[in-house]
Amino acid sequence: MMDLRGVSDQELLLLLKKDDERAMAEIITRYWQRMLAVAINRLDNQQEAEECVQDVFMRFWQLRVKLELKYTLYTYLSAAVRYRVYNLLDSQHRKFISIVPLSSEMEISSGEFHADSELLEKELLERIAVYVDQLPQKCRIVYKMSREDGKSNEQIATELKITEKTVEAHLTKAVKDIRENLAGSSAGLAFLLLTSERFKDLF
pLDDT digits (tens, 9 = 90+) for 3-50: 788 888 889 989 998 999 999 999 999 999 989 988 888 787 889 999
19 phi and psi angles, rounded to 5 deg: 65, 30
Domain extent, residue 195, equals 4-202
Q: Which pLDDT tens digit goes with each residue over 43-90?
A: 878 899 999 999 999 988 988 888 777 667 887 888 888 878 877 776
Say which CATH number the domain at 37 has: 1.10.10.10
Q: Helix, strand, or coil here: 121?
A: helix
Question: Which H or E run contains 160?
Answer: helix 153-160
Q: What angle do CA 10, 14, 17 make, to 5 degrees?
A: 135
Nearest to 84 by CA among 108, 106, 114, 62: 114
Over the stretch 123-154, which tens digit does the pLDDT of each residue have? 666 777 888 889 999 999 998 888 777 788 99
Q: What is the largest CA-CA distance in the chain?
A: 60
User: How many domains does the chain divide into?
Assistant: 1
Give the chain's radius of gyration (CA, Å). Answer: 20
pTM of the model: 0.51
Q: Is the dihedral of CA 27, 29, 34, 38 positive or negative?
A: positive
